[in-house]
Amino acid sequence: MSKLALDKIRYPTKDSLIEGRFKFIADETLRHNVAIYVQYVTFLLSLGEEYDLGLITYSLYKDILIHTAHVIESLLHNKLRELISSGSVDPKKILDSNIRYSEEKVIHECGDGKFISCKVTAKGLEDDTQFVALNRAGKRSGLLTDELFKKCEEVRKTRNKIHLSGLKLTDDQYTKQDINRVFGIATEIVNRVRDY
């Protein structure tokens, strides 16, 4: 790409994104990282529109989908953390439970003095909480409506098609319509997280 071509492309700056669209994110690090991701997605999108990239276009669209899904996932995680911290929601009621084996309660005697015991405890919201768990917690907390939950699940499932070994089709199925659909969902999530 020539310098002249790059000069014609205008991208939102990190600062303009922070001051504009994402100023509602209280966590400064997350706000900056979201702004960087959105700037990168804008760059990728402009490449696809500016140049005929052939088969690489599908990979470009896939990268856009993956990074947009990361933004959605991060916004959900952050808002759930805020809701839990403020006491607005009980993590035990919105997060999946976790079975931890211990000697606290016998649930089955196997004979010969052996037994199985367990303790069921609520998982906390961790930095690595999975997207699927965030979507479920978002729905249980009221952050996500039934329709938004379905849309977030659609994004999550699309994003999860990153593992080449698990694909049943050639990985060239991404279109501009897919990108526009995910952008629409991302806009809905940004607005919901901002206003909730």
Go through the chain and tell me how many residues it has: 196
Q: pLDDT tens for residues 50-95?
A: 899 988 888 899 899 999 999 999 999 999 999 999 999 998 889 8
Q: Are 84 and 138 in contact (CB under 8 A)?
A: no
Is residue 95 included in any domain, yes or no?
no
pLDDT value at 26 more than 60: yes
In angstroms, the CA 13 to CA 190 distance is: 18
Per-residue pLDDT, averaged over 14-31, amounts to: 85
In a domain? residue 143: yes
For residue 126, tell me if it sits in a domain.
no
**How many C-beta atoms lie closer than 10 Å to residue 145's C-beta?**
13
Q: The domain containing residue 12 runs over which residues?
A: 3-90+135-195
Please report whether residue 110 resides in a domain. Answer: no
pLDDT for the residue numbered 15: 77
Inter-residue contact 29 to 3 (CB < 8 Å):
no
pLDDT category at 123 given cuts 50, 70, 90 is low
* Averaged pLDDT for residues 9-13: 64
- The count of structural domains within the chain is 1
112 within some domain: no
The enclosing H or E element of 146 equals helix 146-159
Structure-block tokens of residue 118: 């367990």
Which one-letter amino acid corresponds to residue 131? F
Q: Is residue 49 part of a domain?
A: yes
